[in-house]
Amino acid sequence: MITRNVSACIREIQKHSTPDGSGTQTILYLKGCPLYCNWCPNPEFRNPEVRLLWDPIRAKHYEDGRIYTVQEVLELCLDNLDPAERTASGVTLTGGEAMMQHTFVYELLSRLKDLGVHTAVETTGYVPEGQFAKLLPLIDHLIFYVKHYEREAHRKITGVYNDLIIENLRNSLSSPSEVEVRLNLIPGLNDRPEDAEGFARLLQRIGVKQVQLFPSNNQTDPSNRNNTQGSASPFTEVELAAYQDAFQNLIR
């Protein structure tokens, strides 16, 4: 039974048509993230609470985020869905790191699954193993972002080691979820040919066969005292294709 007073801080709720036009997708942007990535385009997501921020353009304060109960979000999601297209439509949870608000996510996903609504979650994988394992059976499509293959390098660019992330990724591959692995390619941090080899060796060892490359538009900031890599040029299509080819040749 749903605990109606379970709540979470959500920064935004969007409704989109699916790429093939067969349904709609409701996307929930939950606040809170345990990582401190140098290139993060949305650092305001890190704080899991509602915050009062200043908008210099409109010269006024505004609340960053809003508290929603499971029941409120469920009703919004169902209003967005065509009852005849629930398998084509669905709900995606992202962030931040959506799984940080674990109790809310568990309650919401449980209810959506009971109603036959397709569920998707984007994650960094940096979630306690027990919580991660509890959520996996409720997720139809798990989108798992991997940021670096080397333990110490991962800590330098995100603030955390990748041991927990690797273990959760490994466990997800034996779950009922459809797992999509995405590599965050960051200019100057993990975009070299040897990085393609490092990613390939790690993911091959875990059992990943296919990945999607997601290059960041944000360059590393040389003024950041934690960044020792300097800035680099954004990827060209040729560079991205070469990286993809190198990776796929190694992971076969």
Per-residue pLDDT, 161 = 97
80 in a structural domain = yes
Per-residue pLDDT, 251 = 64
187 in a structural domain = no
Q: What's the chain's average pLDDT? A: 83
46 in a structural domain = yes
Per-residue pLDDT, 110 = 96
Per-residue pLDDT, 232 = 43
Q: What is the largest CA-CA distance in the chain?
A: 55
Query: Is residue 212 within 8 Å of residue 142, measured between CB atoms?
Result: no
Query: Is residue 10 within 8 Å of residue 65, measured between CB atoms?
Result: yes
63 in a structural domain = yes
Structure tokens at 201: 């060796």
170 in a structural domain = yes
* Model pLDDT for residues 33-67, shown as the tens digit of each residue: 999 998 888 888 888 887 888 788 888 887 788 99
Predicted confidence (pLDDT) at residue 224 exceeds the cutoff of 50: no
188 in a structural domain = no
Residue span of the structural domain in which 21 resides: 7-182
The domain that holds 130 is classified in CATH as 3.20.20.70
Structure tokens at 1: 């039974």
* Model pLDDT for residues 226-245, shown as the tens digit of each residue: 333 334 446 777 777 777 77
Query: Is residue 136 within 8 Å of residue 162, measured between CB atoms?
Result: no
CA 165 to chain CA centroid, nearest Å: 12
Which strand (E) or helix (H) includes residue 184?
Answer: strand 178-185
Give the CA distances from residue 210 to residues 194, 223, 251, in Å, rounded to whole numbers and listed in that order: 18, 35, 8
Overall domain count for the chain: 1
* Model pLDDT for residues 187-204, shown as the tens digit of each residue: 888 888 888 889 988 998
**C-beta neighbour count of 140 within 10 angstroms:** 18
Per-residue pLDDT, 230 = 39
220 in a structural domain = no
DSSP letter string over 123-152? E-S-S-HHHHHHHGGG-SEEEEEE--SSHH
* Model pLDDT for residues 92-118, shown as the tens digit of each residue: 999 889 999 999 999 999 999 999 999
216 in a structural domain = no
Predicted confidence (pLDDT) at residue 157 exceeds the cutoff of 80: yes
* Model pLDDT for residues 16-30, shown as the tens digit of each residue: 766 545 567 899 999
How large is the average pLDDT for residues 118-125? 95
Give the CA distances from residue 203 to residues 28, 31, 154, 197, in Å, rounded to whole numbers and listed in that order: 29, 29, 15, 10
